[in-house]
Amino acid sequence: MRGDREESLPLAPGAEFDLIRRFYLGGRAEPRPDVLVGAGDDCAVVAGDGIALSSDMSVEGVHFRRDWLSLREIGYRAAAGALSDLAAVAARPIGVLVSLALPSEDAGEGAVELMCGIREVTEQVGGVVLGGDTTRTTGPLVVDVTVVGEAGWPVLRSGARRGDEVWVTGELGGAAAAVRALLRGESPTPAARERFARPVPRVREALWLAERGIPRAMVDLSDGLAGDALHVSTASRVAVLLARELVPVHPAALAAAGEDEDEALRLALGGGEDYELCFTAEMGRVPAHRAEFERETGTRLTCVGRIGGGSGVWWSDPEGRRRPLGFRAYQHFTEDT
Amino acid sequence: MRGDREESLPLAPGAEFDLIRRFYLGGRAEPRPDVLVGAGDDCAVVAGDGIALSSDMSVEGVHFRRDWLSLREIGYRAAAGALSDLAAVAARPIGVLVSLALPSEDAGEGAVELMCGIREVTEQVGGVVLGGDTTRTTGPLVVDVTVVGEAGWPVLRSGARRGDEVWVTGELGGAAAAVRALLRGESPTPAARERFARPVPRVREALWLAERGIPRAMVDLSDGLAGDALHVSTASRVAVLLARELVPVHPAALAAAGEDEDEALRLALGGGEDYELCFTAEMGRVPAHRAEFERETGTRLTCVGRIGGGSGVWWSDPEGRRRPLGFRAYQHFTEDT
C-alpha cells in the first residue's frame, strides 16, 4: 500500500468501497518506514519502539453541533482531540484509524469533507490515515478516531513528585469563550472561534520537552485544567497546587469575562477543549529551556503552580494555604454540567 | 497499569470514570510484555515486531437488533468481527480499544453487559481491553472496536498467484441461515443462532497456518465468500475460480434452504458474518497438513477452488468454463441488498 496509491489501491468495486477509496486517495502518501501496510487490507501494520494508542469518539449533539462548525471543522476537531492524547504521552504520530457512522445525508460529499478535516490535522502533525470503517446510521453523526504513535519513552500521568513545578503550554479558556458565545446565540470573536474550531495538538511541544527529559508527568487539557490536573493528582498520589495569579488566561476568555475575574478563571480552568499540555517538571528544570522552547515552537510556557503532598487540585496562596477551586470539569453522564 | 489494577487504576472520580473503571476492572489482567501501558492513561502503549490495527463499527438497526441479541452478545459479535481482521492477516491479538456511544438507557448496567461480551471474546483469543472512550448519544447504540495485534509477517490480500488453491476454514452460511429465520420472524435453530450470535474469530487457525508459511493471500469472510474473495482477486490481480460442489455449506444453511441448492449456496457465499478464513496456498501445499490442522484446531479445511488469470470471482466447472456467481456481497450504502 505504498507509493502510487491512486492507481493501485486494491479494493473491490462497490459504493462503500468507492467512498473509502476517496477517503484514502485524496492526496499522495509517501512510503514511510513506520507504516508497513497502509489502508486497504484487513489491517494496517505499523512499526515502532512502543506503539501508543488512544480512541476518542465525537457524537453530533453531544460533542459538536452542525450550526456551529462545518463538517470539515468537525472532522478536524475530532481528530485534533484524539491526536492531543498522543502529545500527552509524548508520542510521535504515525496515523489514525477513522470510524464514521454517517446519516444518509452525509454519506457522499459530507463524508469527504469530514475526512478532509481529519486528514488536514493528521498530516499537520506528521501522521497518515491508516484505515477505519464507514457505516450508515439512523441517528446522529458519530466520528471515532483512534490515534497511533510511537512512544519509546511515554510520559505518563503518574510521574509527578512533591516539589515539582506545574507548567502549561499556551493560554487557556479560548475554546470555552467561543462555546459560551455560541450557547448565547452570539458570534465568538475570530480568535476564540479559531481556538474552538481548529485546536492545534501540541505534538511538537511535547516531543521538544520529552527529548530533553523535562516532563515527569503530563496530560492534555481536554476537560479543562481543573479536571485534567486531577488525573495527575490521582495517578501520582499527590496534590496539585495552582496559583490563581499565574494561570495564563487566553485574551478571548478575558474579553468574554469582562471585569469578572472568577468567570475568566472558570473559562480557563473548567472549560476544556483547549488541548494544551499540562506537565510537571523538577523544580528549576524548565526556566533554562523556556526561551528556546517559546522561540522554536511559538508556544508560551507558564508555571502555574507546584506539586504538594496529599491529593486533589487546589488554589494555593503565597502563604501556602489551600482553597477549593470551585470549578468542575466537563463530564458526560452528569446532569448538572 | 499492571498487576493489581482494581486497587490502583489511577482515574479521577466522577460518573463517567466510574463507568470506565468498571469496564476495565471486572477481571484481573496479568502483566504481559506486549502491553507496556494499559488502560487508564492518555494512551495505551504496546510493543511488538509489527503492530496490526483495524477498526470495525457496529450500529444498532444497521448491524444488530436488540430483539435478536442480548447486549452481551452484541458486544461479543462486535469484537469478534473486529478480531477476525487480525486473524485475516495472521496477527496475534494484543488487545482492543472500545468506543461506545450509549443511549441513556444503556449508560449503566447495559454498558457493563456490552463490555462483558467484548472482553469474553477478546480474552478467548488472548487479548486484553487496552482502552477506549464512552459517550452518550441521542441516537442508536454505536460500538466501535479497534483491534491491535502483533504481525511480524502479515499475510495480505495481494499474495495470490495463478495456480494457487483456494481454501476456506469451517462451514459457510450458518450465520446467514439465522438472519434469514430472524427476518421471517422465526426462531433460528440453536446451531444457526450460535453461528450468528457467537462467531469465533479464527485466530488460532490463522496462526497455525502462518507459522508453517502456508497462506500466500488471506481474507476473513465478513461479507460472504463472494464479496471477500473479490478483495483477493482485486488486490492480487487474479481471478478466483470456485467449484460449486466443493463449497462447505453449513448444515444450518442446508436445512434452511431445504431442497433449493441455489438458496443454500446463496446463504453460504452471499450471507456474510461467518468470520471464517479464505486463503490461497501453493498447489499441493495444504493436503499434507490438513489432518493435523483439523485435529489440533477442531476446524475443517476445504479446498473450494483455484486462482486463475484475469479478474473477478467465478464458478468454474470441471471443464474450466467460467460462469457468473449470481450473488452479491452485503454492502452498506447500496439500496437493493
**Cα B114 to Cα B130: distance, rounded to the nearest angstrom:** 16
- HSE-up (13 A, CA, CB side) for residue A326: 12
**CB contact B337 to A (< 8 Å):** no
Are domains A5-150 and A157-324 of this chain identical in fold?
Answer: no
Q: Dihedrals φ, ψ of B40, to 5°?
A: 125, -20
Contacts of A62 in chain B (CB under 8 A): 135-138
Q: Which residue has the cell 499540562?
A: A278
Strands (E), A67-164: 92-102, 128-136, 142-150
Listed by start position, the domains of chain B span 5-150, 157-324
Of B16, B136, B148, which is closest to A62 when you measure between CB atoms? B136
Is CATH 3.90.650.10 the classification given to domain B157-324? yes
In chain B, whose CA is at the least distance from the CA of A59?
B137
A314 to chain B nearest CA, in Å? 14
Contacts of A49 in chain B (CB under 8 A): 47
Which cell numbers in the block locate residue A124? 499537520
Best residue in B58, B128, B138, B333 to probe A by mutation, most A CBs within 10 Å? B333
**Cα B334 to Cα B231: distance, rounded to the nearest angstrom:** 18
Q: Are A190 and A86 in contact (CB under 8 A)?
A: no
Q: Which of residues 248-267 of A touch B (CB under 8 A)?
A: none
* Cβ pair B135:A235 closer than 8 A: no
- pLDDT tens digit sequence for A223-258: 999 999 999 999 999 999 999 999 999 999 999 999
- Continuous H helices in B68-108: 71-88
pLDDT in tens, chain A (337 residues): 223 333 345 556 566 666 666 665 544 467 899 999 998 899 999 999 999 999 999 999 999 999 999 999 999 999 999 999 999 999 999 999 999 999 999 988 899 999 999 999 999 999 999 999 999 999 999 999 999 999 989 999 999 999 999 999 999 999 999 999 999 999 999 999 999 999 999 999 999 999 999 999 999 999 999 999 999 999 999 999 999 999 999 999 999 999 899 999 999 998 888 999 999 999 999 999 999 999 999 999 999 999 999 999 999 998 889 999 987 654 433 333 2
Specify the DSSP class assigned to residue A230. H
**CB contact B118 to A (< 8 Å):** no
Angle among Cα A189, A302, A223 to the nearest 5 degrees reads: 60
Cβ pairs A/B, distance under 8 A: 287
Q: Are B57 and B24 in contact (CB under 8 A)?
A: no
* Cβ pair A55:B14 closer than 8 A: no
**CB contact B97 to A (< 8 Å):** yes
Q: Which residue has the cell 494512551?
A: B43
* Cβ pair B142:A47 closer than 8 A: no
**CB contact A335 to B (< 8 Å):** no
pLDDT in tens, chain B (337 residues): 223 333 345 556 566 666 666 666 544 467 899 999 998 899 999 999 999 999 999 999 999 999 999 999 999 999 999 999 999 999 999 999 999 999 999 988 899 999 999 999 999 999 999 999 999 999 999 999 999 999 989 999 999 999 999 999 999 999 999 999 999 999 999 999 999 999 999 999 999 999 999 999 999 999 999 999 999 999 999 999 999 999 999 999 999 999 899 999 999 998 889 999 999 999 999 999 999 999 999 999 999 999 999 999 999 998 889 999 987 654 433 333 2
**CB contact B223 to A (< 8 Å):** no
Q: Which residue has the cell 483491534?
A: B147
B91 to chain A nearest CA, in Å? 9
Q: Which of residues 71-90 of B touch A (CB under 8 A)?
A: 85-86, 88-89
Contacts of A152 in chain B (CB under 8 A): none
Q: Are A238 and A160 in contact (CB under 8 A)?
A: yes
Q: Which of A31, A63, A18, A2 is nearest to A330 (CA)?
A: A63
Which cell numbers in the block locate residue B180? 434469514
Three-state DSSP at A142 gives: strand
**CB contact B156 to A (< 8 Å):** yes
Residue A93, class by beta-carbon neighbours within 10 Å (0-12 exposed, 13-18 middle, 19+ buried)? buried
Q: How many CB atoms lie within 10 A of CB B123?
A: 15
Strands B322-324, A217-220: parallel, antiparallel or unpaired by DSSP?
unpaired
In chain B, whose CA is at the least distance from the CA of A131?
B54
Rg (CA), chain B: 21
Domain A5-150, second-level architecture = 2-Layer Sandwich (3.30)
**CB contact B52 to A (< 8 Å):** yes
pTM for the whole structure:
0.91
